[in-house]
């Protein structure tokens, strides 16, 4: 009798599954936002804190001050154009029903925030399940949206005081200076502490650069969105 040959089958490696998060245009928008805001902070804070030694060293001559202001104004124009494009594109896509309203706050965000607070206080064992955007991401988006709008309006009033005071009271100029510089400091602190923590410390989220999330990330951080897209439960059998 001839011996039967045993054929060993090599298990096929399972490919990692990815889900689209941000398209190329959104990633470029984020890059422009990051660069313009960074330049605005680096050129605006020295002008706010003129009494500090490091600011005096940087703005030691009128030529340097003029150069810093020119760079600040160019970055402001870039940010303004990017904001106009962002709002215009969003309105167009929503009017054509090609963009969802997932980024708008709703009652579920209040429930999720309360659920998360209970979890942080050890009153609940589980974190809330989120959709495409969680309440923390919405806070970041809308805080920066209104903060940048305030800085943009006040910044242009400071830049063109003569034109604006032709139809606005003169007190709007010093008020704009106070609002502009104060909001810039608040926004800088918010980005460095809140946004940086939730994106890079709590977990290394690179989706704004890669444009995608892994299946494990979708299951863990966007369970409801995962279930909506795939029609499958977010929790694995071995997670129970």
Would you write out the chain's pLDDT as a tens digit for each of its 240 residues? 444 555 555 555 557 789 999 999 999 999 999 999 999 999 999 998 888 888 888 888 889 999 999 999 999 999 999 999 999 999 999 888 888 888 999 999 999 999 999 999 999 999 999 999 999 999 999 999 999 999 999 999 999 999 999 999 999 999 999 999 999 999 989 988 888 888 878 888 889 999 999 999 999 999 999 999 999 888 765 555
CA-based max dimension of the chain: 107
DSSP annotation of 165? T
pLDDT at position 198 is 82
* Distance from C-alpha of 1 to C-alpha of 133, rounded to nearest angstrom: 66
* Distance from C-alpha of 214 to C-alpha of 221, rounded to nearest angstrom: 11
pLDDT at position 1 is 46
* Distance from C-alpha of 135 to C-alpha of 105, rounded to nearest angstrom: 8
* Distance from C-alpha of 153 to C-alpha of 225, rounded to nearest angstrom: 36
CATH class of 18-102+128-234: mainly alpha
pLDDT at position 14 is 59
pTM over the 0.85 mark: no
pLDDT at position 159 is 93
Count of helix runs (H) and strand runs (E) in the chain: 11, 2
* Distance from C-alpha of 79 to C-alpha of 85, rounded to nearest angstrom: 10
pLDDT at position 204 is 84
Domain spans, the chain: 18-102+128-234
Sign of the torsion angle spanned by Cα atoms 233, 234, 238, 240: negative
pLDDT at position 11 is 54
**CA dihedral defined by 184, 200, 15, 24, rounded to 10 degrees?**
10
């Amino acid at each position: 009798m001839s011996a039967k040959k045993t054929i060993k089958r090599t298990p096929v490696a399972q490919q990692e599954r990815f889900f689209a998060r941000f398209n190329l245009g959104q990633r470029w928008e984020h890059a422009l936002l990051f660069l313009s805001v960074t330049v605005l902070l680096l050129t605006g804070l020295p002008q706010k804190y003129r009494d500090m030694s490091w600011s005096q060293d940087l703005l030691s001559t009128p030529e340097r001050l003029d150069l810093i202001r020119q760079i600040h104004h160019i970055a402001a124009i870039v940010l303004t154009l990017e904001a106009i494009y962002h709002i215009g594109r969003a309105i167009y896509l929503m009017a054509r029903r090609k963009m969802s309203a997932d980024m708008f706050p709703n009652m579920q965000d209040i429930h999720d925030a309360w659920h998360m607070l209970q979890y942080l206080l050890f009153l609940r064992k589980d974190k809330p399940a989120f959709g495409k955007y969680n309440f923390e991401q919405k806070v970041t988006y809308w805080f920066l949206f209104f903060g940048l709008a305030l800085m943009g309006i006040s910044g242009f009033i400071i830049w063109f005081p003569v034109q604006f005071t032709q139809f606005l009271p003169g007190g709007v100029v010093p008020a704009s200076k106070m609002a502009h510089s104060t909001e810039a400091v608040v926004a800088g602190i918010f980005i460095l502490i809140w946004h940086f923590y939730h994106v890079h410390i709590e977990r290394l989220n690179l989706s704004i650069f890669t444009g995608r999330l892994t299946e494990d990330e979708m299951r863990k951080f966007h369970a409801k969105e995962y279930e909506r897209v795939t029609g499958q439960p977010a929790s694995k059998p071995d997670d129970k």
